[in-house]
Chains A and B, each alone.
Chain A
Amino acid sequence: MSNVVHVVSVPRLAETGKVTQARVALSEWTKLHSLRSTRWSLVVAVILTIGLPLLFATVVGTHWAHMAPRERANRHPLDIALAGVNLSQLAIAVLGVLIITGEYSTGMIRASFTAVPRRLPVLWAKLGVYAFVVLVLAVPSVLLAFWGSQKILAQHHILQISLTHPGVLRSVLGGAAYLVVLGMFAMAVGAIVRNTAGGIATFAAIFFVVPPLMNILPTSWNNAISKYLPDAAGRDVFSLTHGPHDLAPGPGFALFCGYTALVIAIAAVLLVRRDT
């Protein structure tokens, strides 16, 4: 060791690999599970998806004896089984926005784009990893919600429906599929807006504000337009029955996926073009 300069030496790296889509996906998986906020959001989404149907089934079961025939007719076992999806979609959407806007608000995006300067692999990896995680959590959650709520209702000998009944399995799994695509939609909105509050507000406007506003329109217009909105189109896949003004599950879900693809395409173009 010399008397003046204390030598700091950086250990050499044997070899560095190239950036590949698979490696970026692994990196995004690390980013996803290493944040407390993501873990909590996902736990909350699972609890809501399973817990709410169990709660509703218990309430309906215990009150069934006191319910009027008309009220009983309005109760549908699938509405109960998928009640949680309506609430957990909020957690999934907020997390989808946050995964990307969190990088912008903290400056992490600069590190991400320095490591992957082509940028698009980061977007694909985020979308893919998040969709996969939501799928893996949502499928067992909706199945558990279905079986659990059916078990509770069975104790009261009411509202029994079989998974093999036409459309039931499609509806139950449709609830999971809806959450998966919704998460990607929200993430793409986040990538476009690049700001957490703005991203969540934009998402909420599209899914929760615009649909009720349609009621202001003349009924014929409302009926003609509303079914094509992202929210309504997405819901078709987890509704067992479809009214005259709804799209069928297949076309509805396809349209919902189409909207999502469009938003993702806009996000991708902007991601490459904009300064960071």
Chain B
Amino acid sequence: MIEARGLTKDYGEKRAVDGLDFDVRPGVVTGFLGPNGSGKSTTMRLILGLDAPTAGTVTLDGKHYRDFAAPLHEVGALLEARSVHTGRSAYNHLLALAQTHGIGKRRVNELVDLVGLHEVARKRAGQFSLGMGQRLGIATALLGDPATLLLDEPSNGLDPEGIHWIRNLLKSLASEGRTVFVSSHLMSEMALTADHLIVIGRGRLIANTSVDEFVQRASGGLVRARSPQAMRLRELVTGPDVSVESGEPGVLEISGLSPQQVGEIAAAHSIVLHELTPMQASLEEAFMELTREDVEFKAGEVAADEEGAA
């Protein structure tokens, strides 16, 4: 369980994280969404104590990260910025970190195999592709068999097979009762992986909700009806709280009524329906809708480094 209370971080004049309050529960995958530069990576660093908050606190099961006697057993982290010495082999990188906790070589080999780096484990990490580097980061995160996983953009640079692999890994980790907190700026990825969402924009909390609710909220209950008597149906359903649009002949997009209500109106007037579909906005659209106001760098402006302090 991760608990953030009034979590705030300033870098000079710039407020990167602004009064965040949220809980991340164990047993589910919690997605951490936000446009680039919205403060996701900063929040991750604050959780790990790499940066100190300007105000507020963030704790793991009630403790500050630095107060754990065996931190790698509590939290495994994959940060977005690479955290591997380029001159050291993957094996020695993992071994050096394992040794701080008295974890043996057997565990290191186990994880090298698990993430599929067996062939290149003795090569210098600087020669790794982005995807291999990401796999090494995941092995690092899993080293201490942690109760909580913090993964910043884990599917970055992975091929489709790797993305599929990480998706299953996250679900299986959560099903074992671990706390899994995954950041992403890609909605489609979160739709397939996450159960719960924490959405931030410009350092502020925008939504803290289940994936289903999030989509529901943003799609506003749009219903699509296809009928040979579309014109007649349109007249019947239109009302003060209902608006109807028609993209193509014979198809109506009705907002303000449930599919049941539309169906009942049609039946009462003996109108033939060929299709009646509750429309869901994609997670992508829902996200765009919710964060429209909070995108730090709109198209056309110069995009800056995330947080600028990496």
Contacts and interface: CB of A to CB of B under 8 A. Distances in A.
Q: How large is the interface on B (under 10, 10 to 19, 20 to 34, 35 or more residues)?
A: 35 or more
Given A16-B72, A115-B71, A10 B82 contact: no
Interface in B237-285: none
Interface string B82-97: 1111111100110111
A7 B171 CA distance: 9
Contacts of B107: 13
A10 B107 CA distance: 11
A103 B102 CA distance: 21
A8 B81 contact: no
B65 to A, nearest CB: 5
Contacts of B81: 107, 110
Interface residues of A, number: 43
B172 A275 contact: no
Residue among A23, A35, A107, A114 with the most chain B CB within 10 A?
A114
Contacts of B309: 275
Nearest to A30: B96
A20 B165 CA distance: 35
B101 A19 contact: yes
A8 B77 CA distance: 18
Contacts of A5: 168, 171-172
B70 interface: yes
Nearest to B165: A8
A12 B172 contact: no
Given A16-B101, A18-B69, A11 B87 contact: no
6 contacts: A7-B168, A17-B70, A108-B83, A111-B84, A114-B48, A276-B51
Q: Which 3 A-B pairs have the closest CB atoms?
A: A17-B102, A13-B145, A34-B92
Given A111-B93, A114-B72, A115-B101, 11 more contacts: A11-B110, A30-B92, A30-B96, A31-B88, A34-B89, A107-B81, A108-B85, A113-B50, A114-B83, A116-B100, A275-B51
